[in-house]
Chain A
Amino acid sequence: MAREIYAYKCRKCGHLHYPFRMVCKECRQNGFFEFDIVPLPKKGKLLTFTKVYNLPAEFEVPTLGLGIVELENGLRITGQLEVDNPKMGMAVQGEVKVVRQGAYDKYYGMVFTAA
């Protein structure tokens, strides 16, 4: 079963949010948790990216690819990038995998590869 990352749809006005916020950014009319969850699409366009060299101690890799992707439904997401020669505007697709390993916890997030 593939894991999902969810966007939050305001029950009053339908505005989609990612990540979660308590109050709808568009109408500010919904009560707490008046959101429906909607899985984020996995395909999108790479807006910008970087390769980071100085990582926090938990990451045992020398470098890490990161990027901001504009998904098919217009929402944007920050994710890890496993692409050899990324280019701005390229098509990418995401999969939800472990992105960070704490002392006892695993954290899941979107990892993008070339589409």
Chain B
Amino acid sequence: MAVDLERILRPEDHPLEPFEAKYMMLASGEHMVIRQIDRDEIPDVLPYLEPLLHVERDYYDVVCARIYSELLAHYRYRAQDEYVLIAQIEGELAAVVNGRQVSGDLGMSLHTIALRRGLRVGAHAFAAKMEYHIDILGHKEVLVVAESPIGFRRWMIEYQLDKRFETPHELGGVPSWSLTKELFDRARSTLVVGRRPVPPELLAKGGSQDPATVGSTHAPGRLVGGHQVHVRPDGDRPHCAA
């Protein structure tokens, strides 16, 4: 029967402490909000990632393809203990980061993709992810890999991650690095930035922009902020055929 089959196919999620939204000021003077999204907002995010599937530069195509599939899997209940954080600048989607809890002690950082460049948006979003794993979920270490040289320089070199080459990362076959709680505490002043709680007027900002323009100029897409759900014309089906 369909219900029993779905129960078998669907992994069981453990309860994860939520990420409390925070905000920060960027070099441009604009404010950026980083908040966690639930499954229901994923269909709103996916259209903004799509154009980046075709951008070869800096491995955007690989990262986008992978994070797109991870978000979709999370949305369709085919991934376990995954979380998604998004960053919005005055309501416009600026970055998406995701990861998983492997066990109570171990986190797996999956991807970071920045739609707006030149303002260290990716750096802020990655740091928020690490804060989530270590400070909020209480993991003792987080496994990290990088697809692009930029990512490698910003994370592996800057934070002096431990090599864990003998441990495979879920992304398959690549050498893993680890951010341990010890490394995190040492870099705390640069890793834990941003302020809480987010003022209501920042959360409420929204707007409209055609997702098709994302990627061609790397202009940010717009997403309705807060917890409003954007209802799309074809109801709540994911936009990609199963």
A54 surroundings in chain B (CB, below 8 A): 153
B73-106 vs A, Cβ < 8 Å mask (1 yes, 0 no) = 0000000000000000000000000000000000
State the CA gap A54–B157 with chains docked (Å): 10
A28 CB to closest chain B CB (Å) equals 46
How many chain A residues sit at the interface, stated as a range, is under 10
> Could you tell me which residues of chain A, from 52 to 79, have a CB within 8 Å of some CB in chain B?
53-54, 62
| Residue on A nearest B158 in the bound complex, by CB | A62
B158 surroundings in chain A (CB, below 8 A): 53, 62
A31 CB to closest chain B CB (Å) equals 48
State the CA gap A53–B157 with chains docked (Å): 9
B212-224 vs A, Cβ < 8 Å mask (1 yes, 0 no) = 0000000000000
State the CA gap A53–B153 with chains docked (Å): 10
| Residue on B nearest A60 in the bound complex, by CB | B157
State the CA gap A54–B153 with chains docked (Å): 9
B36 surroundings in chain A (CB, below 8 A): none
Let me know if B180 is at the binding interface, CB within 8 A. no
B235 CB to closest chain A CB (Å) equals 49
A55 CB to closest chain B CB (Å) equals 8
B160 surroundings in chain A (CB, below 8 A): 62
B137-175 vs A, Cβ < 8 Å mask (1 yes, 0 no) = 000000000000000010001101000000000000000
Interface centre among B153, B157, B158, B160 (most CB of A within 10 A): B157
> Could you tell me which residues of chain A, from 24 to 55, have a CB within 8 Å of some CB in chain B?
53-54
B179 CB to closest chain A CB (Å) equals 14
State the CA gap A53–B160 with chains docked (Å): 12
| Residue on A nearest B153 in the bound complex, by CB | A54
A60 CB to closest chain B CB (Å) equals 8
| Residue on A nearest B159 in the bound complex, by CB | A62
State the CA gap A90–B153 with chains docked (Å): 33
A34 CB to closest chain B CB (Å) equals 46
B182 CB to closest chain A CB (Å) equals 16
| Residue on A nearest B160 in the bound complex, by CB | A62
B123 CB to closest chain A CB (Å) equals 13
Ordered nearest first, which 5 A-B pairs have the shortest CB separation? A62-B160, A62-B157, A62-B158, A53-B158, A54-B153
Instruction: Give residues in A with beta carbon < 8 Å to B.
Output: 53-54, 62
Instruction: Give residues in B with beta carbon < 8 Å to A.
Output: 153, 157-158, 160
Q: List 5 contacting pairs A-B, 8 Å CB cutoff, sorted by A.
A: A53-B158, A54-B153, A62-B157, A62-B158, A62-B160
